[in-house]
Amino acid sequence: MKEYIEKAFSVVDKIKQFDGEAFLQEARSKIEEISSNPGQFALTAILQLKLAYEMIECYIKKECSLPWRTVLSLIGIFLYFINPADIIPDFLPGIGYLDDAVALGIALKFIRDDLKDYAQSKGLSLEEYGLV
């Protein structure tokens, strides 16, 4: 119990140390970076999605091993991606894939290190896949 209380206080301390101005500056910088070349941002996301597909295919065919959290993340994102019952229905013009994109972004961020390792094992350019 003491261990959980110490962890809770640690989290509270980190929240108190949160630098809102630095956070906002970093967010603005990232938005400007994406805005300057939205096509590249979308292309990178698509390439990472294809790489993620190759990873789960490799795992399912028992050609490689992956950490269990990565397997669960990949299966989860692809199940969400192909499920027509999304939070925002896919058929809505302009916003239909917004929830898919957010879920994909979160999942890819979660398995980023594994994506890097897989890309390197296949001799792929980390820069091309936005994994630098």
Residue ranges covered by each domain of the chain:
1-36, 38-132
pTM: 0.67
Span 28-80, pLDDT tens digits: 776 677 667 777 778 888 899 899 999 999 999 999 999 999 999 998 888 88
54, 61 in Cβ contact below 8 A? no
Please compute the mean of the pLDDT values over residues 92-106 and round it to a whole number.
77
Span 100-126, pLDDT tens digits: 778 888 888 899 999 999 999 999 999
Q: Tokens 């269990």 belong to which residue?
A: 68
| Spatial separation of the C-alpha atoms in residues 27 and 45, rounded to whole Å | 18
